[in-house]
Structure 1
């Protein structure tokens, strides 16, 4: 594929608001997981909650979109001058030439949960002020971002479970390469809700403590919430003049697969995961040895980590790797976008982030699992995102000149 410039990016999670806070947490191997205190959730587990969302309603002229998910989206877009960079792009190419591609799994489903608590006692009718289309509907996120910037280009929401925030890069790439748009706002947002918390609890997948990806004592996930965004543009010479350090980072390759092995369990040999990684490398024109770091999907469940490890060891020979979900929690539909930003940070700052909370990597898995963050001269990194139903996506990011074909 033709490389795309990742000209600006930002992320907000329980690990921190914005890039500086996120980078500091990763460098220090710490995160923001804490005992669950989400209203109505009487569960013995840890979550990655972002503080302050309750006190940050969306912009007044967009009040119909007000819900926890869109509040977090707005909070994140105001970090690292991301909203200003989007407006600069609009001024340059026009509002009709900027597309929006957002990943989410549950969108504003919390708003529906709250509405059901306020049903009419006699008729069971939902309250008149409940607006499904602009809150719960998965498209509400893309619609909100589009309205927030006054855009007139195409807008898409991808909801493919935990690969959503990664697969939006593929959707954006296709529209950029066909010339339908000049700039893409890509991202992923997911927030805490009772449906998610109790759903994963019913599957017996929640850890009772902070999750420990790839640890010999791993026992389940910690659910987090996050919002992460990036700007993608075609890699043209006229844009290089506008570049800052972040502009040197490129999306080199994308791999997508669907193994459809099971509704909630991965293929035990990591078949779909391996296919996604192989495709990402091939589209980037790279070999496995060209990758200096892999950000693993790494949910910290016994079966998921084992399957991903089999796929990784089939392709790579002891590549440094880690899962950053120990710092952020599993942010579900936002995870792919959040971890794409983390991959970009690793490249930009020449740092391999440690896997927070993991103290004893499972030796059976055979990984070169990083326990202490360290500096490293990285040219290309790979980020994995795998979801329920076997929806898999791998992304390769690199610096100029990393691709060999």
Structure 2
């Protein structure tokens, strides 16, 4: 893997079930998931729902055609970022956008689709659920004129947006790139995973003895990457595609191992340099088992601090990588805490790892890695570091 030049995180914002105080949410046993009975037929389900206010302003005609909760959640996060301060001196043609999503505006079309089944004359506007509308809509809203596109590779989507953004800057195609991911709760997703028997009946337990599946969540997490030095830098990214199975991961973690090693190589770091690893950690039997195998292959007996945060956020699908990147960003900035792993019993076959059981940071950390592994074997690992 060719080394890359680090890029700075000029500013960021994140919305999720964690609320405004993510440190408290991730360092205590506070329950952050909520029960919903409007997503599955005749049953309730625990989800990581964003509980805050959502952008409610009137949209200009240029973007009104893609109006959806997904797009408005992105605008809500955007309002929390002072983009103008960091981009005022940059030509609009040099400002790029790369977003990740998997649901787009599907949730807003679900009621209309139900009506259409009974009445074929009901019109459904499919533009709001097109994958490309997220980046295109943000570009129009901001008035930027550089490269803009959306990545949709399931759960690795927004992680890959970081890799793409770093490449655009290093290739000289952009001076600043808005990257991240947005995904919102919808019936299609919940019922799809339910049909696969992949939803947990309770709060999920990554790497747990009795883990029985995932919780689904929603999030909007955005970052501005620039060539400038920043307190936290995106050091490197590693991508792989093992294509082992349409939904199951490679049982030996071959693709996961490759992504982590490629991230280390691109950042010119040794595995021993990583102080914290945010696992993909979905709490499905196969994913957790293969990921820990891959961690052993890359880190050996290094004893890197690891945890999954999905028992707090749910699996945010295309936005998961960006949300977990935001968590890594915050712990590197604050230098006082690490996210706790779930407190239940750990699978005896996965017990040889250094799961975070004490949230208090004992010594400064310099580098954090975050994993995102998707259907089809689409994998990405990101490394963030302090400057």
TM over 0.5: yes
Aligned to 2:314: 329
Match of 1:198 among 163, 177, 191: 191
Q: d(CA) in 2 for partners of 1:45 and 1:75?
A: 26
Structure 1: gaps of 5 or more residues: 241-246, 401-405
Please tell me whether the aligned partners of residues 34 and 210 of structure 1 are also in contact (alpha carbons under 8 angstroms): no
1:2-81 alignment, distance < 5 Å: 2-17=5-20, 21-39=21-39, 41-52=41-52, 56-57=55-56, 59-61=58-60, 62-79=63-80
Question: 1:258–1:98: structure 2 CA closer, same or farther, 3 Å change rule?
Answer: same
Please tell me whether the aligned partners of residues 19 and 52 of structure 2 are also in contact (alpha carbons under 8 angstroms): no
Q: SS state of the match for residue 10, structure 1?
A: strand
Please tell me whether the aligned partners of residues 23 and 337 of structure 2 are also in contact (alpha carbons under 8 angstroms): no
Q: SS state of the match for residue 60, structure 1?
A: coil
Superposed CA RMSD? 1.8
Match of 2:275 among 277, 292, 307: 292
Q: Deviations for 1:58-92, whole angstroms, at most 9, x for unmatched residues?
A: 5431432211211211222223xx1xx21223311
TM-score scaled by length of structure 1: 0.89
Question: 1:63–1:270: structure 2 CA closer, same or farther, 3 Å change rule?
Answer: same
Total equivalences in the alignment? 378
Per the TM alignment, residue 3 of structure 1 is displaced from its structure 2 partner at its CA by 0.7
Question: 1:118–1:268: structure 2 CA closer, same or farther, 3 Å change rule?
Answer: same
Aligned to 2:248: 265
Q: d(CA) in 2 for partners of 1:197 and 1:371?
A: 30
Per the TM alignment, residue 373 of structure 1 is displaced from its structure 2 partner at its CA by 1.2
Q: Are 2:373 and 1:373 aligned?
A: no
Q: d(CA) in 2 for partners of 1:355 and 1:302?
A: 20
Per the TM alignment, residue 162 of structure 1 is displaced from its structure 2 partner at its CA by 0.1
Structure 2: gaps of 5 or more residues: none
Match of 1:161 among 147, 154, 164: 154
Aligned to 1:118: 115
Please tell me whether the aligned partners of residues 9 and 224 of structure 2 are also in contact (alpha carbons under 8 angstroms): yes
Q: d(CA) in 2 for partners of 1:142 and 1:15?
A: 25
Match of 1:170 among 163, 168, 187: 163
Please tell me whether the aligned partners of residues 355 and 370 of structure 1 are also in contact (alpha carbons under 8 angstroms): yes
Q: Deviations for 1:334-381, whole angstroms, at most 9, x for unmatched residues?
A: 000001111111111124533454322223112211123121410101
Q: d(CA) in 1 for partners of 2:86 and 2:277?
A: 31
Please tell me whether the aligned partners of residues 39 and 190 of structure 2 are also in contact (alpha carbons under 8 angstroms): no
Q: d(CA) in 2 for partners of 1:41 and 1:70?
A: 26
